Every structure is written in structure tokens, then in C-alpha cells.
Structure 1
Amino acid sequence: MSDHTTDPATETFVAHRNLLFTVAYEMLGSAADAEDVLQETWLRWVKVDLDHIRDQRAYLVRITTRQALNRLRSMKRRREAYVGQWLPEPLLTTPDVAEDVELAESMSMAMMLVLESLSPTERAVFVLREVFDVGYDEIAEAVGKSPAAVRQIAHRARRHVDARRPRKRASAGETRAALESFRRALETGDPQDLLDVLAPEVVLLSDGGGIKRAALRPVVGAEKIARFYLGGTAKVAAEIICEPTVVNGSPALAVRVGGELDGVMAVRVEDGLITGLYFVRNPEKLTRVTSETPLTLR
């Protein structure tokens, strides 16, 4: 009769897996790379003598952070060679993520793009401190800096993020309403309806990864974006269906053309108007929008 009991190392890793994935994804913006980081974390974790580990959760977060930092530095070269705009890989999230305002804000496309503008170490420190509330001493262990240096980095990163994040976070209801207006305007092809929901200086970022057609540079301004969408979709308007979904904890649209998933549209909303449009069309980034990814801060 076989023994089905799980060893302590595996039990601990499985218990904290969702947390570790969330940490890695927040640092990398890529689910595929986050999964690779978890695999690297596991390979190191199984070699650890658990009898000498006082706080196993903290130790796992430390390993994950170090592996994510290594990968983040190597990904910089990959991003520089990327065709067109790079956007984070969208995740279909469970309802509890949307209910956790802090987690949903940190996972939003707009915030993930702000995090992209930080250095790897700044991003690691900001994510661990501001999102996961990790202590400065523990962060210092994870990033290989002194606690005093970590405090300075955290202050600098917080100032940088605060200068770029929305003044106030739109509620899920406000975001859904703006998306619904945007969806109707796209499906009816009415330019004025589209202009009514777009802020004058709205910015569109579209990510085709060199595989699907997308604007290679940001498109700025409501009128330019209206022309971009209504001109480009007029021929296939009858085949386009925009379905409400929840991506990275926030309302979004799954865009289907001829019944096939063509992309995911996330938005940034301020004062009822869309100020940022994030359209991910790269098919390699659409593998995590058909089944929910469990995420957690704890």
C-alpha cells in the first residue's frame, strides 16, 4: 500500500504557491516568466534544510524575489528587441481579486506600466513594501542591500510611482460604464459616441508583438484614436464582438473577431472618461485569459 503523504517542503511550497506567483508576476508583468521563476524557486527550495528556517513563507518570498530580479535584468534586453509597444500579459482573475482594492490597483495595466518605468531593484523594493507589506529588513535580505539603502530606494520608488499613477482610482462601476460606452461606440461605428467617452489626451498602447497588426507607437488624442479604430474596424465591424470580462482585477473587454479571440482591451478611467487604452493582441500573451489565475497578497 503506497504512502500518499506529502513531504513538508512540498506542502509549504504548495501552500504559498499563489502568493509566490503573484510576487513574481507583479515584478515581471509576464505569467510565463513568473511560472519559470516558480520552477527555479522550487529547485532551490527542495535543497534547503527546513530545520534551519525560522519563517518558511518569508524565505520562499526571498528566493522568489531573487530569481525574479535575475530574470527582470535579463528581460531588459528582450524588451528592447520587442516589436512595437510592450504590454503586460493579461490574466483572467478570480472575483476575490477585484474585491481586494489594493491588489486590484497594483495589478491594473496602468499600474503595471508605471512599474515598468522603475529599475529592477526599485521595482522589487516597491512591490514587496507597498503591495505585500514586507518589512525593510526582510526586503534587504531579498535584494542584497542594507535596510537603510532599502528605505531610500522605497522612498524614491514611491515618489516616482505617485507622480505617474492616477490621481484617484476609478471604481469598478465607473470603469464598467466607460467600457460599455466604448463597446457600443465601436459596434455602432459612431465617431461622436467614441469621442464622448475618450478624454481629449487619451493614449492608446497596442501590443501585437510583431505577430498581429498593432500601432508601433503610442496613439495620442481622442480624434486620432477614433480614426484609428473606426477606420480599421469598419470592414469587419459586423464580425467584432466585445465581451465584458475581468482582467488583472479590473473590468476589461475580450475582443472577438469571427468568433475567435483577437485581443484583450483594458482601460484607465479618470472622471468618467477613458485616459488610457491598453490593447493586447499578441496571441502569445492571451493564454491566461481563458481560465482564472488565483492571486493573493497573503
Structure 2
Amino acid sequence: MSGNDVLAAQFEEHRHRLTAVASRLLGSRAEAEDAVQEAWLRVSRAGSDEVADLGGWLTTVVARVALNQLRARANRREDPYDDALPARLHANADPAQEAVLTDSVGLALLVVLDQLAPAERLAFVLHDLFDVPFDEIAPIVDRSPAAARQLASRARRRVRGAELPDATERRREVVAAFLDASRDGDFSALLELLHPEAVLRSDAVAARMGAAAEVRGAAGVARFLSGRARAARLVLVDGVPGAVWSLRGTPQVVFAFTVEDGVVTAIDLLAAPGTLSGLDLHPLRQR
């Protein structure tokens, strides 16, 4: 099997997720399929010999293609709603293709997304629906990670009140259970909620406050956080469930959680004043 055949096989393994990403970015099944095909043409020409994270790289390529399409759409000032309606509204829609749009994005949200600037839409969709870190989103939109976070935050404020995916509620349940286990010092429960290769990272300010700069592996993260979250409270961090420790009402450390498939894969401890001032924090009731 040639190198291109291997790459083609690997691309096919990621096609479903790539189509889902493009569909949510573009709001159109047909445009999503075109974007994925264009991404394959770019990938096949470039090769992947030096790519460490193939899935992440392919997502970036598809996102760049979709962003170009969104910008072209905005420049043409075309009405995008006709083909942008969810697949279930098309009489001849394939049920498998319907699921691409309707499993986590409803019509109300699609309509609101079409009112966003292309960069805002991309930052919001990639981060909130696919857990793509802002460090990876930033180069796609030619912004710093902090600026990319602000794009998503502005978009989130505009879509608040629209139909949001059930994934947010599932993440809230995971984060709430994690905080409970941390407060109780329940090491076993923490392990069950952590991915085996989970990582905890602290920014420079959090590290100076006594946090570990980096801890890798579920056991290490569980040991470090066991019994340490007694004063942390559940919040939305830029629309995503997380936690905050405050002193006299002023946030001191934000716990930004990445949750995938029902387990915590990463926790970022953010304490730099500049970072905290740019976060959109909203209290959540812990059930």
C-alpha cells in the first residue's frame, strides 16, 4: 500500500467527525461535504509525514476551508438559510446525514449562528461543540489564544437563550461530580472521572500560588486535587462548565475543564489577572 493510500485510509477514519465539524460550522450538509472533499485535496497534496496529531491537523484543515467559505458567503451577502436548514427539513434527506446536524445543533441555534461574524462562529463552534483548545483555534482565525477566547465569548453571549446542545448539561454533571469527589477526598471517584492520560496544567500565576505546573496521568491528577476543591464553586467559564475559587468575591483561580466522552481529559488552572478579567463567569447551581 502506497503512502497516499495509507493517508486516504486514515482520512476516511476521520471523515464522519470532519463532516460533523464542517456541518456545524457551515450549517449546510452539501457545503460540509464539499469542504471535507476540498480538505482531502489539500491534505493529499501536503502529506502527513511530520504530523503528530493527525485528527487535530485534519480538523484544522477543514476549519480553514469552512472559514474561507463563511467569509466568501459574507462577502457575497447571500441569504444562507435555504440550504442551511437542518437536514431533517429537507424532504429527501438521508437519515444518517440528518444526524450530522441535528444531534447537537438545533434550528434555533443555526439561525443565530448565521448572524455571527465568520471568526466568531468558528471559535464558538470549535470550542463549545468540539472542545478544540483556543491555542489551536487561534492560528486558524489569525488571533492570539486570548483573542480567540474573546471571539467565542462574544458569540456565546449572542446565542445565549437559543437551543444549546445537551453536551453542556452532560459536562456540567461530570464537573459537578468531580468537584464533589475532590471536596470529599474520594480518590477512587476522581479516578473514575479522569481519562487515564488526563493532564492538569497551571499558568505561571497559579504555579506561584502553589499549584503544580503540570501533572500527567489520572492517578497524579487525582492525588493533586483530592481534598483541594473545598472552596471551589461550579460556574460556566465562557459558557462551558468549570469551577472558580474566589476570595472575598473576587475570582482567584479558574478551573477550566475539558470533558470528552464523559470523562475529564484536561484541567487548566488559570490565575493570571489578565486572563481572569477576560473570562465570562456565571454561577451554576450544584445539584
When normalised by structure 2's length, the TM-score is 0.50
- Structure with the bigger RCO (C-alpha within 8 Å, sep 6+) is 1
